[in-house]
Chains A and B, each alone.
Chain A
Amino acid sequence: MTDQRELDRMLGAFLGEGADELADRVIDAALDEIDHTQQRRALRMPRRFPTMNTYSRLGAAAVIGVLAVAGTLVLVQRGQPGVGGSGAPSGASASPSQPAVPSPSPVVGVTDEALVADLLAMWSTPYDAAKAAALYAPNAVFYDKVNNETLTGLEAIQAKSKAMEAVAGFKAVVTSAPIQQDNFVAHFLKFGNTAELSGRGLVVYELKDGKVVNQWVYDATSSAATQSPAAVTDEALVADLAAVMSNPYDAAKVAALYAPDAVVHDLVENLTQTGLEEIGARIRYLNTQDFKVVVTSAPIRQDNFVANFVKFGGGEAAFPGLVVYELKDGKVLNQWVYPAP
């Protein structure tokens, strides 16, 4: 048996060998290419909403959506029809076209109830910087994956929220119950204006010491032209999908669960598998690593997107994660696997 010290020594010596100089021609070639390459403009907060394009507008709306939804978590948890039991949250008044807020029964132990309650109180009323400061950690970070923008710090989040408050007719609606794993909470939402809720997002919050320390909004806009109900319940579906990754490779099961052109976006390992063959190869590799996926929350759904928390890893290792599936005709068209830090 090779002990760890001997293995470390061998690997240190082995990896100490190799090329240590980059040829000038490589740098010259890169610099030549750079001469014809424009730098990507750094994303900046728009000064005026009317100058934003549609996509940016939706993303900006998501900022408010996220915060409004944070309050709505309490609404869902308490099973109340509106903020304070008498009205709708700011920008989220009911209309016939809006999906109903789910019943509170699927909620899995939202432990930071006081935080969520305070968030609700804040975001169902006009913007209040002091309340925001009390509820968000000074170094809170908002990751807007719709616009590929990151707002770091309370002031940046406050500034954008305040700017967006001026947007008339903004509306955000929670479309799923929240799910929770440890100190992470997630749910779907739709957002837009009074005429149309055209934005789709999946919101994830990280709570710590009674404050929001991180929040993410992922784009949940479907790329599938058509959709039909899955043949099984969402609970059965996510259980089958976890099992197919955890058990010895079964081509028939993979083909039954994934569309032929399915894509798995593994944001943990920074890998992408396209098509059944690549997905199968990945599963065969995971089999060799004693890899397991354990579903740790009920699934939530918005249109043809389904999400659930998981823990994954090999052997005794268990790492928290979030899996999102986009379904088409009852099969997975896209799958995203996100790590939870």
Chain B
Amino acid sequence: MDATEGDRLDRDLVEQAQHGDREAFAILARTHGDRLMAIAHRILRDVGRAEDAVQQTLVIAWRELPGLRDPDRFDAWLHRLLVNASFTEARRWRTWNANVRVLPVDGPAGSDEALSVDDRDRLERGFRRLPPDQRAILVFTHYLGLAPAEIAERLGIPVGTARSRLHYAHRAMRAAIEADERPVAVAGGRLR
């Protein structure tokens, strides 16, 4: 099945689900579920919370689907719902700023060839310090490979805001990496 055929099938399913077809929506949920989970997990850094965000997204998507005017925009619309659900999940736990202790991210780890353990720890520590909006922009940029204009469209924000968030997120991550690279710490105004 090529991309065009897949898109047409998706559109048919969306239109059926818009008219209350639960079976069609179930197919859509299973088709898009893995991608939603991947995004939510990378933003939230916790399998349980990511699963909660995805479940909430699917329920909201079903409820609001009749209001989706362009079925071809289903994928982008779903991502926007997911990001909002992830923000809600993040606010519920309120650990964005407090949790600076490095914890191993749940789920399968990737290849060690790309990143050293130290690099991963530094990135993890820096990423956990970011607010949810900046986490999301990094995931959409570096995981999904989207440009700011595409991200802005998906998240329903101005392009300038997307660029701004990306700028701040990069700056924060760079600062986190470089701060951790410094060999000495300053305490009480004196080197120790």
- List B residues 100-123 near A (Cβ within 8 Å): 105-110, 114-115, 119-120, 123
- Asked whether any CB of chain A lies closer than 8 Å to the CB of B38, the reply is yes
**In the docked arrangement, what's the CA distance between A31 and B54, Å?**
12
B110 to chain A, nearest CB (A): 4
1/0 contact trace for B22-59 toward A, CB 8 Å?
10011001100110111001100001001100110011
Contact status of A30 and B55, CB under 8 A, knowing A22-B33, A41-B66: yes
- Asked whether any CB of chain A lies closer than 8 Å to the CB of B87, the reply is yes
Q: List 15 A-B contacts (CB under 8 A).
A: A4-B170, A10-B115, A19-B106, A20-B34, A21-B34, A22-B34, A27-B33, A27-B58, A30-B54, A31-B22, A31-B26, A37-B59, A39-B20, A41-B66, A314-B164
A298 to chain B, nearest CB (A): 24
1/0 contact trace for A1-22 toward B, CB 8 Å?
1101001101111111111111
Contact status of A23 and B64, CB under 8 A, knowing A15-B138, A17-B109: no
Give 9 new A-B contacts, CB below 8 A, not counting A38-B63, A271-B87, A339-B157: A7-B174, A8-B142, A14-B115, A14-B119, A15-B143, A17-B107, A21-B37, A34-B59, A319-B160
- List B residues 138-153 near A (Cβ within 8 Å): 138-139, 141-143
Q: Are A7 and B67 in contact (CB under 8 A)?
A: no
Q: Are B178 and A1 in contact (CB under 8 A)?
A: yes
Report which of A15, A30, A43 forms a contact with B59, defined as CB distance below 8 A: A30
- Asked whether any CB of chain B lies closer than 8 Å to the CB of A289, the reply is yes
Contact status of A34 and B34, CB under 8 A, knowing A19-B107, A319-B161: no
**What residues make up the interface of A, taking CB atoms closer than 8 Å to B?**
1-2, 4, 7-8, 10-23, 26-27, 29-31, 33-35, 37-43, 150, 152, 268-271, 281, 285, 289, 313-314, 317, 319, 339-341
**In the docked arrangement, what's the CA distance between A313 and B160, Å?**
10
Closest A residue by C-beta to B22: A34
A143 to chain B, nearest CB (A): 12
- In the bound complex, residues from chain B placing their C-beta under 8 Å from that of A281 are 97
Contact status of A285 and B131, CB under 8 A, knowing A19-B47, A29-B55, A268-B157: yes
Count of chain B residues with a beta carbon within 8 Å of a chain A beta carbon? 65
Report which of B37, B84, B123 forms a contact with A14, defined as CB distance below 8 A: B123
**In the docked arrangement, what's the CA distance between A269 and B161, Å?**
8
The 4 closest A-B pairs by CB, nearest first: A13-B114, A17-B110, A19-B107, A22-B37
A220 to chain B, nearest CB (A): 22
Q: Are B42 and A15 in contact (CB under 8 A)?
A: yes
- In the bound complex, residues from chain B placing their C-beta under 8 Å from that of A270 are 84, 87, 133, 155, 157
B7 to chain A, nearest CB (A): 21
- List B residues 51-95 near A (Cβ within 8 Å): 51, 54-55, 58-59, 62-67, 69, 84, 87
B93 to chain A, nearest CB (A): 15
- List B residues 155-173 near A (Cβ within 8 Å): 155, 157-158, 160-161, 163-164, 167-168, 170, 173
Closest A residue by C-beta to B159: A341
- Asked whether any CB of chain A lies closer than 8 Å to the CB of B177, the reply is yes
A160 to chain B, nearest CB (A): 16
Report which of A22, A150, A152 forms a contact with B51, defined as CB distance below 8 A: A22
Q: Are B177 and A20 in contact (CB under 8 A)?
A: no
